Amino acid sequence: MAKKNPEKENLPESRGYLHEILGIIAMTLGIFVLICLYSYSPLDPSLNSAAGSKEVRNYGGLIGSYLADLLISGFGLGSFLIASFLILAAYLCFTKKRERIRLPEALLLVLALVMASVLFQLKWNTVSLFGHNTLAGGLIGAVIGEQLRRYLSDVGSYLLVISVGLLAFIWGTKISLVELAEQVRLFFAGVGRKLASLATIYRARWEKFLEKRRQEREREEKEAQVQARAAMPAPKPKINLPKRIDGPEPKPAEAVAPRAPEAPPPALRPVAPPATAAPGGAEPKIFQRAQVKNDSKKDDQLPIQKLSGDFELPPIALLDPVPPSAADQTVDEESLKASSLLLESKLRDYGVEGRVTEIHPGPVVTMYEFEPAAGVKVNKVTNLVDDLSLSMGGRPVRIVAPLPGKPAIGIEIPNHERETVYYKEIVADARFQKAESKLTLALGKNIEGIPVVADLAKMPHLLVAGATGAGKSVGLNSFILSLLLRNTPEDVRFIFIDPKMLELSIYANI
């Protein structure tokens, strides 16, 4: 069995090193020639200047000055192609596209160089190069070009020089011009895509920068507005005191019992004067709660209606009278103003600017109409329910945002001292007395202290729900009593179902 020759095994590896070495040498020579040509000066020592200056300006030194003068004198502008051919040879060595360059191929490249110099000479004849006139194609281009022009004229000379030059270049480099053009096209297309991508990236960054600057300017303007508003004296809420509800207007009875004389018309109290604003600014508007005037004598004089047979509707006088202290309760305006200032301060601590414009005190809950400053989002206020509840002494806070028809947010806070809502105040009100439906229910008072009634006939279903101690049983009894005050047994019949036999046990023996 034949033994392997280790020298042959290492031959491909040694050839790879040889290509790299030749590539480095060709690249170095190409760059050196290019530097020498770039720094060429006619004043440097050369073969054509016998008495030249001793100072060498060429970057390649004395050798560079002689080399540059020789190439420019011989090939003119074509001398720059020599550096290009050397760099091309280095590229072929590094990429290993050519194993080696043979002598015929090298001669063809020289022929292509000569044809290029002749083409330069035919085109420009002389050019100004590095401060002095020189032959565009050098001495070689001038001699050959003059002979071609004599026998072929300019057109024939151009055709011959270009065709011979291209053939020599393609045959010597084995590079297809079509492939070269395609590579050039792909190169510039890639460059175009890169530039477009960079333009898109920088345009997005620029737009982001402009958007950031715009947001900063808006934030600065808002901060300036907030500071200007803070510097101004805070307007105080204004107070409006609506009319007091004195009592119901009696319904004309078909038959009046002898013992119940006709009730005199209810007396009307003058409208309470509107609260005046403090000198420091406008105060929040406080709406006074509606109240029912307490007059026990009038209650005894309310008519008893006799509708059918001997049955008479029960008079309102059967209900417990409203205590004078409850009927004549007034709103503590100073306390409400202090609460509104405290609410504004707490909201300001959480970064919410604004002011309280109106206050609606009720017997149990007071609603403050808060108008936020420009730029404050509604959800920023609604998310502060728990924080406001803690800040207001642990009282549960309810937020209605926004209020219908108003650029404000309703903040409901329970009163420190809750007032008792008496049933007699509701049924004595004109809203209940003048209601047309026989199934009118007395519900209570709203947040402004105004009696509220509802028509049971307009409700497909009625569900009363609430926590323990919320008043479900009291509400149910008030519904039943509302029906008893307006209807006879011929009009309304009850069917009570009480599984616990607890809530409705008081009606068991009726």
Residue whose C-alpha is closest to residue 438's, from 403, 475, 373, 487:
487
Q: Is 474 left (phi over 0), alpha (psi -120 to 50) or beta?
A: alpha
How far apart are alpha carbons 222 and 209 in whole angstroms? 20
Per-residue pLDDT of the chain (510 residues; tens, 9 = 90+): 455 555 545 545 555 577 778 788 888 888 888 888 888 777 777 776 654 556 777 787 888 888 888 888 777 887 888 888 788 778 777 776 655 667 777 788 778 888 888 888 888 877 777 666 777 778 788 888 888 888 888 788 888 888 888 888 777 777 777 777 788 888 888 898 889 988 999 989 998 899 988 888 888 888 887 777 667 665 666 555 544 545 454 444 443 344 444 444 444 444 444 433 344 446 777 776 655 554 444 444 334 444 556 778 888 888 888 887 665 667 778 888 888 898 899 899 988 999 999 988 888 888 899 999 988 888 888 888 888 888 888 888 899 888 888 889 999 998 888 888 888 888 988 899 889 998 999 998 887 778 899 999 998 888 888 888 778 888 888 999 999 888 888 888 888 888 888 888 888 887
Query: Among positive and negative, which fits the CA dihedral 16, 20, 22, 26?
Result: positive
Instruction: Give the pLDDT confidence score for residue 453 in this predicted structure.
Output: 93
CA angle 171/176/179 to nearest 5° reads 170
- Tell me the three-class secondary structure of 99-141, residue by residue: CCCCHHHHHHHHHHHHHHHHHHHHHHCEEEECCEEEECCHHHH
Cβ pair 290, 247 in contact under 8 A: no
Instruction: Give the pLDDT confidence score for residue 507 in this predicted structure.
Output: 83
Residue 413 β-bridge partners: 366
Task: Retrieve residue 152's tokens.
Answer: 């072929």
CA angle 71/75/80 to nearest 5° reads 70
Domain ranges in the chain are: 17-175, 288-328+419-509, 330-418
How far apart are alpha carbons 412 and 405 in whole angstroms? 18
Give 52's contacts (C-beta < 8 A, 6+ positions apart). 43, 44, 45, 46
Cβ pair 302, 256 in contact under 8 A: no
Residue whose C-alpha is closest to residue 75's, from 64, 67, 86:
67
Give the up-direction half-sphere exposure of residue 18: CA atoms within 13 A in the CB hemisphere.
Answer: 9
Q: What are phi and psi of 70, to 5 degrees?
A: -65, -45
Residue whose C-alpha is closest to residue 401's, from 410, 392, 412, 393:
410
Give 140's contacts (C-beta < 8 A, 6+ positions apart). 74, 75, 114, 117, 118
pLDDT digits (tens, 9 = 90+) for 428-466: 888 998 899 989 999 988 877 788 999 999 988 888 888
Residue 445 β-bridge partners: 451
Tell the residue number behind the tokens 């060709």, with chain if given.
Answer: 26
Q: At what angle do helices 138-173 and 103-124 cross, to 10 degrees?
A: 130
How far apart are alpha carbons 435 and 248 in whole angstroms? 12
Segments in 174-238 forming alpha helices (H): 177-231
The CATH number of the structural domain formed by 330-418 is: 3.30.980.40
Instruction: Give the pLDDT confidence score for residue 289 in this predicted structure.
Output: 62
- Its pTM stands at 0.41
Q: Maximum Cα–Cα distance for the chain, whole Å?
A: 155
If one counts every other C-beta atom within 10 angstroms of the C-beta of residue 23, the result is 18
For the domain made up of 288-328+419-509, give the CATH fold. Answer: Rossmann fold (3.40.50)
Instruction: Give the pLDDT confidence score for residue 455 in this predicted structure.
Output: 92
Instruction: Give the pLDDT confidence score for residue 296 in this predicted structure.
Output: 41
Segments in 402-497 forming alpha helices (H): 423-427, 430-433, 472-486
Note the Cα 361 to chain centre separation in Å: 39
Instruction: Give the pLDDT confidence score for residue 103 in this predicted structure.
Output: 74
Instruction: Give the pLDDT confidence score for residue 134 in this predicted structure.
Output: 76
Buried b / exposed e over 463-494, threshold 16 CB at 10 Å, is: eeeeeeeeeeeeeeebbebbbebbbeeeeeee
If one counts every other C-beta atom within 10 angstroms of the C-beta of residue 312, the result is 16
Instruction: Give the pLDDT confidence score for residue 116 in this predicted structure.
Output: 84
Instruction: Give the pLDDT confidence score for residue 294 in this predicted structure.
Output: 47
Cβ pair 266, 247 in contact under 8 A: yes
Instruction: Give the pLDDT confidence score for residue 52 in this predicted structure.
Output: 53
Residue whose C-alpha is closest to residue 428's, from 271, 296, 289:
296
Cβ pair 304, 262 in contact under 8 A: no
